[in-house]
Amino acid sequence: MVCFGNKILNFISVDGSNKRAKVACNTYKVPRSYRMVVMSQIYKQTLAKSSETLVDSRVKIHRCNESYIYLLSPLRSVTVEKCHNSTIILGPVQSSLHVQMCDNVKIISVCQRLSLLSTTNCTFHVLTPTRPLLFSGNQGVVFAPYHTHYPMLEDHMGQTGLATLPNYWDRPLSLAVDNSDQKVWKLISPREFTTFVVPFEMEGDTTEIPGGLPPAFLKSTVQREQKVQMWQKTVKEAGLTKEQRKQFQALVELKFNEWLKSTGNRHQLDSLVQPSDVSKQVAG
């Protein structure tokens, strides 16, 4: 059975094109434990869904490029293959999350097991009770603590049997024979670390990152927030005239837009400037 477009998932085009990604599933034809959803060729789009269709499904994400993918349901297993320049946010994965032949991809997930094969410059923000496995062909892998939440996250973790402890995100195990003398991975520095906000409204009780952040990362996050508060206070107490405030605001917006462009975050922000009913659709 093929599930086209908005019958299963909601797509938001970044570049204004109507190009439809390929999505197929067998959800309504097989027993629950054999559910499968395949997503392919998602290009310059934001895809977001939390629904019964995805619950306990085996998911394959294939050949996606320059996209943001949110699958906020408890999943049985996930394979990510041949994707580039994308960010993928997953609900808890009950068994394995396998990533292969991907380049410049960021993946955020709670999962039972993470394994990597032939990835380049990919970042993994994970909470996992097992050591991440690195097979052959990986380069520039970055591991980081899980750094987001959404309202149903803890409920979904309960459904998949995943807890906050133990958490071995920072203890990867290399099983490759071709890079035994080469460091192919690193842990993210607290200075480079930021939290991630899921930008959709959903029902649920989770309001913070399950298990919290490791001390060094929590300290860095708090210090960054304090700097922002100090900057806001300084601006407020500067005694600027109305015209000066207007000029200052224009300068801040200019620098912010320059930063968005230089970091590639303009793509993500543009994909979220959509009609107001998008958040409601995500939970539909």
Residue showing tokens 């997930």: 109
Confidence of residue 8 (pLDDT cuts 50, 70, 90): very low
Residue showing tokens 């439809």: 20
The more confident residue out of 266 and 211 is: 211
The pLDDT of 65-83, averaged and rounded, is 97
Q: Under DSSP, is residue 64 helix (H, G, I), strand (E, B) or coil?
A: coil
State how many domains the chain has. 1
pTM of the model: 0.85
Helix-strand-coil percent breakdown of the chain, rounded to 5?
A: 25, 30, 45
- pLDDT greater than 90 at residue 273: no
Confidence of residue 241 (pLDDT cuts 50, 70, 90): confident
Q: Measure the CA angle with vertex 9, ends 123 and 276; round to 5°.
A: 95
**Residues 93-104 pLDDT 10s:** 999 999 999 999
Least confident of 57-71, 198-212, 260-274: 260-274
**Residue 202 to residue 85: CA distance in whole angstroms:** 27
134 close to 118: Cβ distance less than 8 angstroms:
no
Residue showing tokens 């067998």: 26
**Residue 95 to residue 277: CA distance in whole angstroms:** 33
CATH code of the domain in which 188 resides: 2.160.20.70
When mean pLDDT is compared over 50-54, 202-206, 232-236, the highest value belongs to 202-206
The Cβ of residue 187 has, within 10 Å, a number of other Cβ atoms equal to 14
Which pair of structure tokens corresponds to residue 105?
């991809």
pLDDT at residue 281 in the model: 45
pLDDT at residue 272 in the model: 62
**Residue 284 to residue 281: CA distance in whole angstroms:** 5
Confidence of residue 268 (pLDDT cuts 50, 70, 90): low
For residue 270, the enclosing domain spans 5-282
Question: E strands of 101-172, at which residues?
Answer: 103-117, 123-127, 133-134, 141-145
**Residues 125-184 pLDDT 10s:** 999 999 999 999 999 999 999 999 999 999 999 999 999 999 999 999 999 876 555 689
Closest CA to 101 of 48, 61, 66, 68: 61
Confidence of residue 63 (pLDDT cuts 50, 70, 90): very high
pLDDT at residue 276 in the model: 46
pLDDT at residue 261 in the model: 79
Which pair of structure tokens corresponds to residue 123?
């970042």
pLDDT at residue 19 in the model: 61
pLDDT at residue 5 in the model: 36
pLDDT at residue 176 in the model: 81
Q: Mean pLDDT across the chain, nearest whole number?
A: 86
